[in-house]
Amino acid sequence: MTAEGRKERGSEQELVLLLQSGDELAFERLVREQGGRLLAVARRFLRDEEEARDAVQEGFLSAYRALDRFDQGSRLSTWLHRIVINACLMRLRSRRRRPEEPIEDFLPRFQDDGHQVRHPTPEWEGSAETLLAQSQTRAIVREAIDRLPDSYRGVLLLRDIEELSTEEAARSLGVTENAVKIRLHRARQALRGLLEPHFRRTASC
């Protein structure tokens, strides 16, 4: 660990001690320092501002109740992050099913002999680096992620954005690791299908 890392860890240890002693100012500091980032995470999962705020509030309240059980095996921010993600996933599970576009609409289709139906498959305009240099790209990608059905978007966010392992994602979702792998692949394929109209190379005249 670097000197800066040790200093940061020391500062976090002090904060944890204050939190565990019930220091209200320490808790307020925690909410202000971490709340914005956690709200951003909740928005990605829930796509609803009010629900995202509620999930963050629930997450902080759960953390407040469980502070004496925080054993500093992980960073405080990581622990909080997981609590808020779980709050979001619980909301997604209990949410009344909204009309969703069927994911099959965006998946590749195959003939009986295993060849792709679509022929030829178009190339895209460029690499990710090239596309990201365009100002609209991130917004286009985020909107496409938002269009994915909840169960697929959840896995994609957990694995590719929040960088949970397959095992951690499976545990959070209450499914098998195999189910996580299958859903992740389908989510990525569907996302590709949603992005293709924006990024495929158009034929030059």
Judge contact between 47 and 146, C-beta under 8 A: yes
Task: Report the alpha-carbon distance of residue 189 to residue 38 in Å, rounded.
Answer: 27
CA distances from 194 to 75, 113, 147 (A): 36, 25, 9
Q: 97 φ, ψ to 5°? A: -60, 125
SS3 state at 177: helix
181 binds other proteins (CB under 8 A): yes
Total interface residues for other proteins by CB under 8 A = 61
Identified binder of other proteins from the candidate list 46, 89, 92, 156, rule CB under 8 A: 156
State the nearest-atom distance from the C-beta of 116 to other proteins, in Å: 5
Please name every residue paired with 143 in a beta bridge, in sequence order, or none if there are none: none
Closest CA to 87 of 64, 71, 111, 104: 64
Identified binder of other proteins from the candidate list 23, 74, 110, 178, rule CB under 8 A: 110
Identified binder of other proteins from the candidate list 6, 101, 185, 197, rule CB under 8 A: 185
Task: Report the alpha-carbon distance of residue 52 to residue 58 in Å, rounded.
Answer: 10
Binding mask of the shown chain, residues 17 to 56, with x at each position contacting other proteins by CB under 8 A: -----x-x--xx--xx--xxxxxx--xx--------x--x
16 binds other proteins (CB under 8 A): no
Where do contacts with other proteins occur on this chain (CB under 8 A)? Answer: 22, 24, 27-28, 31-32, 35-40, 43-44, 53, 56-57, 60-61, 64-65, 67-69, 108, 110, 113-116, 118-124, 127-129, 131-132, 137-138, 141-142, 145, 156, 160-161, 181, 184-185, 188-189, 191-192, 195-196, 199-200
